[in-house]
Protein backbone atom coordinates (compact mmCIF):
# COMPACT_ATOMS: atom_id res chain seq x y z
CA UNK A 1 0.00 0.00 0.00
CA UNK A 2 2.94 2.34 0.72
CA UNK A 3 4.35 1.71 -2.74
CA UNK A 4 1.05 2.73 -4.29
CA UNK A 5 0.97 5.94 -2.27
CA UNK A 6 4.54 6.79 -3.26
CA UNK A 7 3.72 6.38 -6.91
CA UNK A 8 0.68 8.59 -6.48
CA UNK A 9 2.70 11.39 -4.74
CA UNK A 10 5.56 11.24 -7.22
CA UNK A 11 3.12 11.73 -10.01
CA UNK A 12 1.81 14.91 -8.42
CA UNK A 13 4.82 16.56 -6.70
CA UNK A 14 7.88 15.19 -8.54
CA UNK A 15 6.92 16.79 -11.81
CA UNK A 16 4.98 19.71 -13.07
CA UNK A 17 1.37 18.89 -12.48
CA UNK A 18 -0.48 19.03 -15.73
CA UNK A 19 -3.90 17.48 -15.46
CA UNK A 20 -3.05 14.70 -17.96
CA UNK A 21 -0.16 13.36 -15.85
CA UNK A 22 -2.24 13.55 -12.70
CA UNK A 23 -5.06 11.64 -14.37
CA UNK A 24 -2.72 8.87 -15.61
CA UNK A 25 -1.19 8.35 -12.15
CA UNK A 26 -4.60 8.09 -10.53
CA UNK A 27 -5.58 5.51 -13.15
CA UNK A 28 -2.37 3.56 -12.43
CA UNK A 29 -3.16 3.51 -8.71
CA UNK A 30 -6.69 2.30 -9.38
CA UNK A 31 -5.49 -0.59 -11.54
CA UNK A 32 -2.97 -1.77 -8.96
CA UNK A 33 -5.43 -1.61 -6.10
CA UNK A 34 -8.10 -3.40 -8.14
CA UNK A 35 -5.72 -6.29 -8.89
CA UNK A 36 -5.37 -6.90 -5.14
CA UNK A 37 -9.11 -7.59 -4.69
CA UNK A 38 -10.26 -11.25 -4.47
CA UNK A 39 -11.61 -12.65 -7.71
CA UNK A 40 -15.27 -13.49 -7.97
CA UNK A 41 -15.99 -17.19 -8.14
CA UNK A 42 -18.30 -18.68 -10.75
CA UNK A 43 -21.71 -19.76 -9.60
CA UNK A 44 -21.64 -23.24 -8.09
CA UNK A 45 -17.83 -23.27 -7.75
CA UNK A 46 -16.46 -24.02 -4.28
CA UNK A 47 -13.12 -23.06 -2.82
CA UNK A 48 -10.36 -25.25 -4.16
CA UNK A 49 -12.35 -26.25 -7.26
CA UNK A 50 -11.49 -25.50 -10.85
CA UNK A 51 -14.04 -24.18 -13.28
CA UNK A 52 -15.66 -26.64 -15.63
CA UNK A 53 -14.04 -24.90 -18.57
CA UNK A 54 -10.51 -25.65 -17.33
CA UNK A 55 -10.29 -29.21 -16.07
CA UNK A 56 -13.92 -30.01 -16.78
CA UNK A 57 -16.27 -32.55 -15.35
CA UNK A 58 -17.11 -33.74 -18.81
CA UNK A 59 -19.55 -36.57 -19.39
CA UNK A 60 -17.70 -39.63 -20.70
CA UNK A 61 -18.66 -40.72 -24.22
CA UNK A 62 -21.03 -43.66 -24.50
CA UNK A 63 -19.45 -47.06 -24.80
CA UNK A 64 -19.32 -48.30 -28.41
CA UNK A 65 -20.67 -51.64 -27.22
CA UNK A 66 -23.85 -50.12 -25.76
CA UNK A 67 -26.93 -51.80 -27.26
CA UNK A 68 -29.49 -49.28 -28.45
CA UNK A 69 -33.17 -50.04 -29.00
CA UNK A 70 -34.22 -49.77 -32.64
CA UNK A 71 -35.64 -46.45 -33.77
CA UNK A 72 -38.59 -46.01 -36.12
CA UNK A 73 -36.45 -44.22 -38.70
CA UNK A 74 -32.79 -44.23 -39.67
CA UNK A 75 -30.93 -41.52 -41.55
CA UNK A 76 -27.94 -42.70 -43.57
CA UNK A 77 -24.82 -40.67 -44.31
CA UNK A 78 -26.09 -39.76 -47.79
CA UNK A 79 -29.32 -38.31 -46.35
CA UNK A 80 -31.50 -41.28 -47.32
CA UNK A 81 -34.01 -42.39 -44.70
CA UNK A 82 -35.17 -45.90 -43.86
CA UNK A 83 -38.28 -46.88 -41.88
CA UNK A 84 -38.33 -49.79 -39.46
CA UNK A 85 -40.48 -52.71 -40.54
CA UNK A 86 -43.15 -53.11 -37.81
CA UNK A 87 -42.24 -55.94 -35.47
CA UNK A 88 -42.47 -56.70 -31.77
CA UNK A 89 -39.81 -55.06 -29.62
CA UNK A 90 -36.85 -57.36 -29.27
CA UNK A 91 -34.43 -57.80 -26.41
CA UNK A 92 -31.29 -55.67 -26.54
CA UNK A 93 -29.30 -58.04 -24.34
CA UNK A 94 -28.35 -60.42 -27.14
CA UNK A 95 -27.98 -58.62 -30.44
CA UNK A 96 -25.73 -58.93 -33.49
CA UNK A 97 -25.63 -55.67 -35.49
CA UNK A 98 -24.78 -55.29 -39.17
CA UNK A 99 -23.34 -52.21 -40.85
CA UNK A 100 -21.88 -51.02 -44.14
CA UNK A 101 -19.27 -48.23 -44.38
CA UNK A 102 -20.31 -46.72 -41.07
CA UNK A 103 -24.04 -46.85 -41.86
CA UNK A 104 -26.36 -49.05 -39.80
CA UNK A 105 -27.69 -52.00 -41.74
CA UNK A 106 -26.71 -53.84 -44.90
CA UNK A 107 -28.61 -54.09 -48.15
CA UNK A 108 -30.11 -57.56 -48.62
CA UNK A 109 -29.38 -57.37 -52.34
CA UNK A 110 -25.76 -56.29 -51.81
CA UNK A 111 -25.14 -59.17 -49.40
CA UNK A 112 -26.51 -61.68 -51.90
CA UNK A 113 -24.40 -60.15 -54.69
CA UNK A 114 -21.24 -60.33 -52.60
CA UNK A 115 -20.86 -56.54 -52.59
CA UNK A 116 -20.74 -56.17 -48.81
CA UNK A 117 -18.65 -58.13 -46.33
CA UNK A 118 -19.40 -58.47 -42.63
CA UNK A 119 -15.92 -59.21 -41.34
CA UNK A 120 -15.87 -57.02 -38.23
CA UNK A 121 -15.45 -59.06 -35.02
CA UNK A 122 -18.64 -59.38 -33.01
CA UNK A 123 -18.52 -60.68 -29.41
CA UNK A 124 -22.19 -61.70 -29.56
CA UNK A 125 -21.68 -64.12 -32.46
CA UNK A 126 -20.95 -67.80 -31.92
CA UNK A 127 -20.46 -70.34 -34.69
CA UNK A 128 -22.91 -73.21 -34.77
CA UNK A 129 -26.60 -73.88 -35.44
CA UNK A 130 -28.89 -70.86 -35.29
CA UNK A 131 -32.67 -71.04 -35.47
CA UNK A 132 -33.98 -67.96 -37.25
CA UNK A 133 -37.60 -66.86 -37.53
CA UNK A 134 -39.10 -63.84 -39.23
CA UNK A 135 -42.44 -62.39 -40.21
CA UNK A 136 -43.41 -59.56 -42.52
CA UNK A 137 -46.34 -57.20 -41.83
CA UNK A 138 -49.41 -57.88 -43.92
CA UNK A 139 -48.76 -61.60 -44.38
CA UNK A 140 -50.07 -64.55 -42.40
CA UNK A 141 -48.54 -64.25 -38.94
CA UNK A 142 -50.05 -67.53 -37.74
CA UNK A 143 -47.35 -69.42 -39.63
CA UNK A 144 -44.02 -68.01 -38.49
CA UNK A 145 -41.21 -68.94 -40.84
CA UNK A 146 -38.24 -70.64 -39.24
CA UNK A 147 -34.98 -71.75 -40.77
CA UNK A 148 -31.97 -73.37 -39.18
CA UNK A 149 -28.54 -72.28 -40.38
CA UNK A 150 -25.04 -73.26 -39.33
CA UNK A 151 -22.80 -70.25 -40.03
CA UNK A 152 -19.13 -70.16 -39.08
CA UNK A 153 -18.81 -66.40 -39.42
CA UNK A 154 -20.91 -63.30 -38.95
CA UNK A 155 -20.91 -62.79 -42.72
CA UNK A 156 -22.30 -66.29 -43.30
CA UNK A 157 -25.07 -65.47 -40.84
CA UNK A 158 -25.94 -62.32 -42.80
CA UNK A 159 -25.97 -64.31 -46.06
CA UNK A 160 -28.28 -66.96 -44.56
CA UNK A 161 -30.78 -64.38 -43.29
CA UNK A 162 -30.76 -62.43 -46.56
CA UNK A 163 -31.18 -65.64 -48.56
CA UNK A 164 -34.28 -66.53 -46.53
CA UNK A 165 -35.62 -63.01 -47.05
CA UNK A 166 -35.03 -63.31 -50.79
CA UNK A 167 -36.93 -66.62 -50.97
CA UNK A 168 -39.88 -65.16 -49.11
CA UNK A 169 -39.79 -62.06 -51.30
CA UNK A 170 -39.89 -64.23 -54.43
CA UNK A 171 -42.94 -66.13 -53.18
CA UNK A 172 -44.74 -62.97 -52.02
CA UNK A 173 -46.15 -62.33 -55.47
CA UNK A 174 -48.41 -65.37 -54.97
CA UNK A 175 -49.59 -64.23 -51.54
CA UNK A 176 -52.37 -61.78 -50.71
CA UNK A 177 -51.34 -59.23 -48.07
CA UNK A 178 -53.69 -57.51 -45.66
CA UNK A 179 -54.98 -54.12 -46.83
CA UNK A 180 -53.96 -52.37 -43.61
CA UNK A 181 -50.31 -53.21 -44.27
CA UNK A 182 -50.32 -51.96 -47.84
CA UNK A 183 -47.21 -49.74 -47.38
CA UNK A 184 -45.22 -52.89 -46.60
CA UNK A 185 -46.50 -55.00 -49.49
CA UNK A 186 -43.56 -56.79 -51.05
CA UNK A 187 -42.84 -56.50 -54.77
CA UNK A 188 -45.41 -53.77 -55.52
CA UNK A 189 -44.52 -51.34 -52.72
CA UNK A 190 -41.26 -52.66 -51.29
CA UNK A 191 -38.44 -53.72 -53.59
CA UNK A 192 -35.74 -56.17 -52.57
CA UNK A 193 -32.97 -53.62 -53.13
CA UNK A 194 -34.64 -51.28 -50.62
CA UNK A 195 -34.61 -53.78 -47.73
CA UNK A 196 -31.89 -53.38 -45.10
CA UNK A 197 -30.91 -55.95 -42.50
CA UNK A 198 -29.78 -53.95 -39.46
CA UNK A 199 -29.47 -56.56 -36.72
CA UNK A 200 -30.63 -59.89 -35.38
CA UNK A 201 -31.92 -60.44 -31.82
CA UNK A 202 -32.20 -63.53 -29.64
CA UNK A 203 -35.64 -63.98 -28.07
CA UNK A 204 -36.58 -65.86 -24.91
CA UNK A 205 -37.33 -69.04 -26.87
CA UNK A 206 -33.83 -69.15 -28.33
CA UNK A 207 -34.89 -67.99 -31.80
CA UNK A 208 -32.96 -65.26 -33.61
CA UNK A 209 -35.27 -62.56 -35.02
CA UNK A 210 -33.99 -60.23 -37.77
CA UNK A 211 -34.60 -56.49 -37.72
CA UNK A 212 -35.38 -54.99 -41.15
CA UNK A 213 -35.69 -51.44 -42.44
CA UNK A 214 -36.97 -50.20 -45.81
CA UNK A 215 -35.39 -47.30 -47.71
CA UNK A 216 -37.80 -44.48 -48.51
CA UNK A 217 -37.31 -41.98 -51.31
Per-residue model confidence as pLDDT tens digits over 79-130: 999 999 988 765 566 888 999 888 899 999 999 998 887 666 666 677 778 8
Shared-domain flag, residues 31 and 82: no
pLDDT value at residue 119: 63
pTM of the model: 0.63
Is residue 144 in some structural domain?
yes
**Domain boundaries, position 132:** 73-216
CA angle 129–85–214, rounded 5-degree value = 100
**Same domain for 6 and 95?**
no
Q: Are 141 and 216 in contact (CB under 8 A)?
A: no
User: Which portions of the chain are predicted below pLDDT 70?
Assistant: 1-70, 89-93, 118-124, 141-144, 179-181
Q: What is the pLDDT of residue 28?
A: 41
Residues 11 and 77 placed together within one structural domain of the fold:
no
In the prediction, which pLDDT does 108 show?
Answer: 96
Number of domains comprising the chain? 2
pLDDT for 162 equals 94
Shared domain check, 89 and 182: yes
Kindly write down the DSSP assignment for every residue of 158-190, as one continuous string: HHHHHHHHHHHHHHGGGS---GGGGGG-BTTTB
Query: According to the model, what pLDDT value does residue 183 have?
Result: 84
Write b or e for each residue in 176-202: b if 16 or more Cβ atoms lie within 10 A of its Cβ, otherwise e. Answer: ebeeeeeebbbeeebebebbbbbbbbb
pLDDT at 148: 87
| Domain shared by 97 and 29, yes or no | no
Amino acid sequence: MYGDTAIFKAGIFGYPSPSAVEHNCIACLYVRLTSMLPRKRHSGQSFGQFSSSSTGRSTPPPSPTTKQRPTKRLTLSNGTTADRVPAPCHSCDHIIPFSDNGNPGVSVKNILNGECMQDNPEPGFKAGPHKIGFQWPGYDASDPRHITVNPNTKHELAVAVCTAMHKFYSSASRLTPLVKSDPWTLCSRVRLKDILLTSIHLDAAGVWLPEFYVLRK
